[in-house]
Amino acid sequence: MQTGLELMKELSITSPAKIVLVVIDGLGGLPRDSFGKTELETANTPNMNKLASLGNCGLIQTVGTGITPGSAPGHLGLFGYDPLVFTIGRGVLEALGMDFDLAPGEIAARGNFCTLDDNGMISDRRAGRISTEVGKQLCKLLDGMEIDGVKVIVQAVKEHRLVAVFRGEGLRDELSDADPQQTGVPPKAVSALAPGAERTAGIVNQFLTQARLRLAAHHPANMVLLRGFSKKPDFLRVADIYKLKAAAIASYPMYRGLAKVVGMAVLTTGPTLSDELATLEQNYTKYDFFFIHVKAADAAGEDGDFKRKVSVIEDADKALPRLLALKPEVLVITGDHSTPAAMAAHSWHPVPCLLHSRWCRPDRLIKFGESECRKGSLGLMPATSLMPLAMAHALKLTKFGA
Amino acid sequence: MQTGLELMKELSITSPAKIVLVVIDGLGGLPRDSFGKTELETANTPNMNKLASLGNCGLIQTVGTGITPGSAPGHLGLFGYDPLVFTIGRGVLEALGMDFDLAPGEIAARGNFCTLDDNGMISDRRAGRISTEVGKQLCKLLDGMEIDGVKVIVQAVKEHRLVAVFRGEGLRDELSDADPQQTGVPPKAVSALAPGAERTAGIVNQFLTQARLRLAAHHPANMVLLRGFSKKPDFLRVADIYKLKAAAIASYPMYRGLAKVVGMAVLTTGPTLSDELATLEQNYTKYDFFFIHVKAADAAGEDGDFKRKVSVIEDADKALPRLLALKPEVLVITGDHSTPAAMAAHSWHPVPCLLHSRWCRPDRLIKFGESECRKGSLGLMPATSLMPLAMAHALKLTKFGA
């Protein structure tokens, strides 16, 4: 039996029709009180409302009922990759989030400076949240070591956080974490989780020994903890699955990295939605699929700022006519997960989704929002159904069977 | 874990209750403009509307979101067979569509006459669309060859199309296509795709060599291309799964063929719905499941004829009282896929479905149509759920577990 991606591979055809996928990060929300409206429902969105009337709406579920997706599974789902099958290691995600161009075979780990007490026990897993500036200085002490022909690159992320990349031949990522994720215990030695990974484990442990020596005088950041050892995954590429020439327009490194992992071209763009639309206009004839990422909604949600999230959504709505002027054959507006300001965090709530093409049976909804989407024809839809649907509406899929 | 069909096998019981499944081919549609109605919504269907009020409605999805089903997967889904698991080869479908009574072990291929230029390259894959009459004459030149104890039967289908059946012992269908599906290249030799298929490949290639000689003087139809080599599949039969005595009433060969593949009795009938209802009345006491096929709606949709499709649906509605007079315990009215006149082709849009029995919680919908069905209690339902539901309403399923 065929899986969804295999079916897409078999049925997809190339055509000039354009699909534009706008991901408003963290779009879904919650009302502030029992009888109130969500952020999206509160926002004045005349352009999206018109599309919700003419197009098809629903609520997207990414991983499964009740499961809160991180940004990586959230986006992989929208691109049609089942996030329970296609997983990306934490170390790789940290590297992608820094625009680190991880080569095949390299091992990335997520790290943080920590404090060891006089007995070598971890007393603070975040080294008193040292400043980003101090973190950068300390990373210089660790960066560039050579161990058994393997180069170790250490780069600061933010505050106590860092990423370590091991570059060399024959490295394996089946390694246990060095971070025990608790205080009052010593850092753990890394061990091989599969035959053949012993040499890599040894190299990482030598690095950790060296790191402890070099950091000894730098209390509270007198040690480093590593976890999430992983290689860049070798996923099927969108060009091979959907026969699409796909481009990503995203100003945050993490999303550019995710787009690269699935084989999209990553276009240079500026930080605002207006910059992103300019990039879209300049490249419109060169690709037939565009992923446009709007980060600010998630950031506002994470900050618990209901009003700011509403205003980010309203700005996106105001920008829509400029996008619609390009007349894409299929336009999808959705999010990678919900980030209700009321929770100040990602959540499991299904995400509103809107698809517009000339081949929709109009849902005739009056507002793009969570409650109306519940009445939409897409129903409660797994995220992995979105790409097949967009492909169908772009007339880029042939018939199954005769 | 049990699949759906295994569960049916375990739970189904025989009873005198009748299930009638009316398949209005290509029933689902699209509005002609953004604010308009679909074909079914436009049609005046007082009888179906009454059933939609008293019964249960929903929208059926056959293969998956966005996937346009061919007729074979469309019907297999309605009969409860997952079309991603139960597949039928192209050659077999072509033979079924001609009422060719394919025996187990025989290999059928879909073929077409083509034009070869002086260098032996294909210059026209359809031989200038020769007339059906010419096609018939040319098939006589190829029909009846004997190669290594294998008889080759060649029958004209329509214009340049034909079907070739290889009859003999030990034949295998793991064969590559001889049709390169492009011009400017020579026809391909067939090769074995599995160990043991070499002999069959050799026989097919001998046939193709002979065919080229016999057709040499018949430009533009001076060669034949074959593809989709396949045997009639050995599916579980409806009698074994549902313990039903099932009969098909269909005037088109393809649908009679599909019914035979799942083990239904095929009743002789005339071309109109009135003929089909007469057949139903005559055979009503002899079976407990009837599949009635209404072809004309799909044909009108394929022709892009909105009005004619509306009128076919209205005729079906007018015929309903005659069917209802038989008082079947369960009546289902649905389609095998959508064929919107606006697209003049099969489409991926989910298909309206209506189930009526005395055990329905009434949906109280006001019209049988796409928009109303969206509000129905069956929701967006996979086609394979339809037979279990019909069986349940006929009280033909025992309890699962104690």
> Do the chains contact at A399 and B65, CB–CB below 8 Å?
no
Other Cβ atoms less than 10 A from the Cβ of B364: the count is 12
The whole-angstrom separation of Cα A249 and Cα A231 is 24
Other Cβ atoms less than 10 A from the Cβ of B345: the count is 16
Write phi, then psi, for A331 (nearest 5 degrees).
-120, 130
Q: Could you report the per-residue pLDDT of A46-71, keeping only the tens digit for each? A: 999 999 999 999 999 999 999 999 99
pTM of the model: 0.91
Nearest beta carbon to residue B84 from set A1, A361, A364:
A1
Q: Could you report the per-residue pLDDT of A362-386, keeping only the tens digit for each? A: 999 999 999 999 999 999 999 999 9
Supply the pLDDT for residue B33: 78
Supply the pLDDT for residue B1: 55
Other Cβ atoms less than 10 A from the Cβ of B196: the count is 10
The C-alpha angle B340, B343, B347, rounded to 5 degrees, equals 60
> Do the chains contact at B64 and A4, CB–CB below 8 Å?
yes
Strands B223-230 and B161-167: unpaired
End-to-end alpha carbon distance in chain B: 18
> Do the chains contact at A402 and B343, CB–CB below 8 Å?
no
The gap from C-alpha A290 to its chain's centroid, in whole angstroms, comes to 16
Q: Could you tell me which residues come within 8 angstroms of residue A95 by beta carbon, excluding any fewer than 6 positions away?
A: A102, A108, A163, A165, A257
Torsion of CA A144, A147, A151, A154, to 10 degrees: -50
The whole-angstrom separation of Cα B58 and Cα B272 is 27
Q: Coil, helix or strand for B94?
A: helix
Q: What DSSP line would sit under A354-376, residue for residue? A: EEE-TT------SS-SHHHHTTS
> Residue A61: beta bridge partners?
A382
| Amino acid letter, residue A343 | M
Cα dist. A316→A312, A319, A357, B48 in Å? 6, 5, 19, 44
The whole-angstrom separation of Cα B173 and Cα B88 is 12
| Amino acid letter, residue A224 | V
The mean per-residue pLDDT over the stretch A133-162 comes to 95
> Residue B115: beta bridge partners?
B124
Question: Which of chain B's residues have a Cβ under 8 Å away from the Cβ of A2?
Answer: 84
Length of chain A in residues, anyone?
402
Decide: A3 and A390 in contact? Cβ < 8 Å. no
Average pLDDT, chain A: 95
pLDDT at residue A34 is higher than 80: no
**Lowest pLDDT segment from A29-38, A243-252, B137-146:** A29-38
The whole-angstrom separation of Cα A62 and Cα A73 is 7
Q: Could you tell me which residues come within 8 angstroms of residue B235 by beta carbon, excluding any fewer than 6 positions away?
A: B81, B86, B261, B262, B263
Strands A289-294 and B289-294: unpaired
> Which residues from B are below 8 Å from A when comparing CB atoms?
30-31, 34-35, 38, 59, 63-73, 82-85, 87-88, 90, 93-94, 342-343, 346-350, 370-371, 374, 379-380
> Do the chains contact at B380 and A385, CB–CB below 8 Å?
no
Strands in B159-288 per DSSP E: 161-167, 223-230, 246-249, 265-266
pLDDT at residue A1 is higher than 60: no
The whole-angstrom separation of Cα A211 and Cα A111 is 12
B395: region left, alpha or beta (phi > 0 left; psi from -120 to 50 alpha): left
The whole-angstrom separation of Cα B213 and Cα B226 is 16
| Amino acid letter, residue A10 | E
Minimum Cα–Cα distance from B64: chain A residue: A385
The whole-angstrom separation of Cα B96 and Cα B100 is 6
- Percent of chain A scoring above 90 in pLDDT: 94
The CA distance from A389 to the nearest CA of chain B, in Å, is 4
> Do the chains contact at B68 and A400, CB–CB below 8 Å?
yes
Supply the pLDDT for residue A101: 86
Per-residue HEC secondary structure of A330-345 comes to EEEEECCCECCCCCCC
When scoring B3, B35, B68, B96 by the number of chain A Cβ atoms within 10 A, the one with the most, hence best to mutate, is B68
Minimum Cα–Cα distance from A359: chain B residue: B30
| Amino acid letter, residue B164 | A
Write phi, then psi, for A388 (nearest 5 degrees).
-55, -40
Q: Which residue has the higher pLDDT, A33 or B237?
A: B237
Cα dist. A325→A44, A46, A183, A312, B364 in Å? 20, 16, 57, 21, 42
The whole-angstrom separation of Cα A154 and Cα A134 is 14
| Amino acid letter, residue B294 | V
* All structural domains of chain B: 4-86+236-393 (3.40.720.10), 92-230 (3.30.70)
The whole-angstrom separation of Cα A254 and Cα A401 is 39
> Which residues from A are below 8 Å from B when comparing CB atoms?
1-2, 4, 7, 11, 54, 359, 361-362, 364, 377, 379, 381, 385, 388-393, 397-402
> Do the chains contact at B349 and A361, CB–CB below 8 Å?
yes
Question: Which of chain A's residues have a Cβ under 8 Å away from the Cβ of B64?
Answer: 4, 7, 385, 388
> Do the chains contact at A399 and B68, CB–CB below 8 Å?
yes
Minimum Cα–Cα distance from B345: chain A residue: A399
Decide: A90 and A97 in contact? Cβ < 8 Å. no
Quote the tokens at residue A78: 């929208």
Length of chain B in residues, anyone?
402
Q: Coil, helix or strand for A199?
A: helix
pLDDT at residue A153 is higher than 70: yes
Helix runs in A65-197, H state only: 71-78, 90-96, 132-142
Minimum Cα–Cα distance from B61: chain A residue: A378
The CA distance from B370 to the nearest CA of chain A, in Å, is 8
Tens digit of each residue's pLDDT, chain B (402 residues): 567 899 999 999 999 999 999 999 999 999 987 668 999 999 999 999 999 999 999 999 999 999 999 999 999 999 999 999 999 998 998 898 888 889 999 999 999 999 999 999 999 999 999 999 999 999 999 999 999 999 999 999 989 999 999 999 999 999 999 999 899 999 999 999 999 999 999 999 999 999 999 999 999 999 999 999 999 999 999 999 999 999 999 988 889 999 999 999 999 999 999 999 999 999 999 999 999 999 999 999 999 999 999 999 999 999 999 999 999 999 999 999 999 999 999 999 999 999 999 999 999 999 999 999 999 999 999 999 999 999 999 999 999 998
Nearest beta carbon to residue A54 from set B34, B73, B379:
B34
The whole-angstrom separation of Cα B231 and Cα A320 is 53
Residue holding tokens 């298929």?
B197
> Do the chains contact at B64 and A388, CB–CB below 8 Å?
yes
The gap from C-alpha A355 to its chain's centroid, in whole angstroms, comes to 21
